[in-house]
Structure 1
Amino acid sequence: MFMPASNARAINKARGLDCDAVILDLEDAVAPEAKGAARAQALAAAQDGGFGSRLLVLRVNALDTEWGQDDCAAAVGAGFDAVLLPKVSHPDDLCAARMILGEMPLWAMIETCAAMLALPAIAATPGLACIVAGTNDLAKDMRCTPGPDRLPMLPHLIAIVTVARAHRLIALDGVSNVLADTPALAAECGQGAAFGFDGKTLIHPAQIAPANRAFAPSAEQHEWAKAVVAAFALPDHAAKGAIRVGGEMVERLHLGEAERILARVAHL
C-alpha cells in the first residue's frame, strides 16, 4: 500500500490496514515544496513503529533529482525494511543507490522503456530483493493506452514476472487507477495473480480486499494442496516421482507448488 509520506493521517491509518507492506512515498505523492517535510515525517513514522508484521518501505525520489541522494542517506538505519528506488532504467541506477544505502535491501520500480530493455541486468544486481511494475509511468513512456485489459502492457508484465522468478525476487504488479471494489478492479487483480505476481501495489484502502481475495489461494487450491502433500507423505509413495491424486497425475514439482500454497494459507 502506497501512502504519501506528507499525510500524517494516512500514515497512522496504514498501521491498521490489512496489507503486507506499507510504502511511505516521497516521490509522486509529494509536491516539490513538501519533500523535506515529508522525509522528516517518514523518518518519524519509522522511528515510532507500530506497523506490526507489515514491511515498511520508503520510496525515495530518483537519484537524479535534488532530493534523491538525501532521501537515501536519511533512510540508512532509520528503521525501514527496504528502500524502493523509482525510475530504475539501468543497473548503474541501483549501484549508485547501493553506494549510499550499504547493505539495506533495495526494491526497483520498472517504469521506463529503457528499463524493459535492461531488465535481465537490473534483476541480476546484487542486493535487489523486489521488482515493482510501474505501469502508469511505463504506459506514458510507451505512449500506449492500456485499457481495462492492459493489453499493451501484457508482454512487459510477463517479462517482469519471468525475470523475477529467474533471480528469486519478489514481483509486484502495478497499481490500478480504479479506487473502489468493483468488477474492473477484481479483474485486474485476478489478472496479476494469474500472471504469477506475488502481490499488487495499491493506492487506496478500498483496493485491499479485492487484492487479498485475488492473491489468496482459493478453497479449491487449498484442498488440492492438502491432498497432494498428504499423498506424497504416504510410505508407499516415498520413492515415487509421480502419483495419482484425485484422478489426476501429479509429480514432485506439483508437491513443491502444493507446499507453497499451504505456506501462503498459513501466512494469511
Structure 2
Amino acid sequence: MFYIGIFFQYVSQYMKTRLEYRSDFIVEILSDLFNQTVNLVFILVVFGHTQFLNGWNRDEIIFIYGFFLIPYALFSAFFNIWDFNDRYIVKGEMDRILTRPIHSLFQVVIERMELESLFGLVTGFIIIFYAGANLGLELAWYDPILFVLFAIGGALAYASVFIVIASVGFWSDSKTSIMPMMYNIGNYGRYPVDIYNKVIRFMLTWVLPFAFVGVYPASYFLGKEEWYIFSFLTPVVGLVFFTVSVMIWNQGIKKYRGAGN
C-alpha cells in the first residue's frame, strides 16, 4: 500500500506538470499515433504485393501488430529507461536515488514514466477490432481475462530486457549503445516468428522474449492451436524474465560506485 500510494502521488504530480504545457503534451501524443500509423501503412504496403506471408494473411498480421501495441504501450508508459545509463550513471543521478528509503528501480520507473504513451492502447484496440471483424473472430467469456494476462505478461517480458541492459551500466560506468539497437530488435516481435530462421526464432523466444509481446499471445485469439502452448506461457515467461531482471538490477546496485572519482 505504501508503494501504491507513492505511485499515485507521482501520477498526480506528473499530470499537473504535463498539463501545464498542453501543446507539448498533445504534440507528443500525435507523434506517437503518427509513428504507429506509419508502421501500419508499411504492413499494408507489403500485403499490396502478396496475399500471404509464410501462411499468414494480411488481417492476421494486422491483428498481431495491434496486439503488440497494447503491451508496448504499457512498457513505454512505465519503463521509459532508454537513457538510464547516461542520466543516472554517467551524470550521477543514481546517487540521489539511493538516498531514499524505497527500491531504486521503482523510483527510476515512476520518475521516467510517460503516461501519454498509454494512448497507444487506443490505437491497438482499434486495430485489433478492425482486424478481428475482418477475420470474423469470436470471443469466449474468459477471453478478456486472458487478454489482460497476456498483455501484462508481454509488457513484463519487454521491460525485463531493458532492465537488464540498464543494469549493465552499474558494471561499465560508461555510455553504451546497446539500448537503441535493442529497441530496433524489439520490433521483430510484431511479426510472426516463423518467417525468421531458427536461430532468430530461438533468440526472440528464449533469450530476448520479444515474441511473447506480439505474435505468441495474439496466436491464441487467431486460433493458431499449434502455438497455444506459447500463448499460455506468456504470463509465466513475463513474470520469470522480469523477476530475473530485478535480481540482476539488485546485484548491479551493489557494484555502483557513485559519480565521484
TM-score, scaled relative to structure 2 = 0.23
Q: Name the structure where helix makes up a greater proportion of residues.
A: 2
Higher relative contact order (CA 8 A, sep 6+): 2
TM-score, scaled relative to structure 1 = 0.23
Q: Name the structure where strand makes up a greater proportion of residues.
A: 1
